[in-house]
Structure 1
């Protein structure tokens, strides 16, 4: 990397992929809320009310698009902050699953994997 603020090809690939996955996850919340609810690890929908699912979907689409925009504009420092602070989202989700619903820790594993993934990507971007 010639310019410390620019992204390497690998960093662009990783952050664009992460942004795409998060945006896709958000779309899935909107189009398949029952499936995503099962994957999330909690049971919250009552009589077809998926308002919370849609809100989470919009959040994830927005977060994914922010990552794609920052990647496209080579904003490495901003990506480090947004990805690093973004790990609070799956960490909070894991806590909600375990402590809010009394679910087994195994149901929080996808969220904890998100924490590790985002932390790893943030560390990779700092290089």
Structure 2
């Protein structure tokens, strides 16, 4: 083997060892159907719908996953999106009026003509 091949094998082995030490097992904290807090390396589907925390190897929360939204929350979100779309539409209409008339009195006079 030449020196370059040995060097590339050594670098590959070192990278594999470093990546293996970086990878850590994830732990999950969730509330089960009885209201008990459970810490496990896996999470059941029912618990994932209720929301859970992803923990580091030393037990600190890395990320919190919110629960699945309820029907009421979905309806409220859709109503808010509809209200925002209507407000945006009204702002666009107001902008067009302001482009055409420099003062509200001009718009009133044009309306009475």
Whichever of the two has the greater Rg, that structure is: 2
Q: Which has the higher helix share?
A: 1
TM-score (norm 1): 0.23
Q: Which has the higher strand share?
A: 2
TM-score (norm 2): 0.25
Q: Which one scores higher on RCO, CA 8 angstroms, separation ≥ 6?
A: 1
